[in-house]
Structure 1
């Protein structure tokens, strides 16, 4: 499942790319010999002329809507780009999460240490490294688990699922989403001297 941020980024980049491609195509074909093949509604420019000359610009400025529309579009585009940029910044997550019991809280560092110990204790796990990010009422846990040589991942995944389900119950009212990346520890290569 993709992150919503990655999907939004791809959508914005695709839209901007299509707009730039359309504008570039128009600029590249508007004053060339291809103008005969363009649809009738496609705007064309005569040879040696500019897209928007002084007379056309003066005519547009005579309309009351022109200045307000250009200013509003510029402001809206700027605000949207600033908001998009700010959403890309990594925001440090809270280290203390309030729980349902009055006066109780959970330190994300303590949860991380407990989960690391529990996952490392699973039979067949050589080592584990994890990150916890909290956002609103969701805990996102990313685990990198190295399996011991000749360990089947199926049994290990079942045990890790049980550990994360127990952690989700302990972290109520937060929901926990865990992503596990499995790798195998390599057999040590025999050295012959």
Structure 2
């Protein structure tokens, strides 16, 4: 597993390999205009600038991460983009931590061009749904999440189960001697996680009107 998965600028299952997989599934055209919502310090933006022809901008609420150009300070539920101007939106391990996911998805639908795509990677509960206080946010069943996507007007074009990458991510934390950090990092104890039966998934949502 790539070291940047949990110790470098990317702290999410699968690192950039899952970013690459989502981009492949979405099939964005050369020079596509993308927005990365909840982009953190902009690791994915830097990756896209180096490895693709896409024009990408980040949206983040943490003021210290924002420069007003590459990363804009804004609420994902009130995006600073005109309607039908973007080819794609990325939500990498971030939608589950946003307080108003329905509003975020509505904004994604508004700013996307027809046939534009939302690329989502996020946690899944295969058992009891939970709302956590750490980096995981909501743990919802796949069915619950997909009902929300459909209600926002999107077609679910692709789903890929990335639970193996989640297990590798947690295993790497344990291997690196960071097991003591997990309860605070996740905002959950072992019993809660056992009831949730955590998984991880990728979705491609398509706006087709």
TM-score (norm 2): 0.24
Higher relative contact order (CA closer than 8 Å, sequence separation 6+):
2
Structure whose residues are more often helix by fraction: 1
**Rg (Cα) greater in structure:** 1
TM-score, L = length of structure 1? 0.25
Q: Higher strand proportion, which one? A: 2
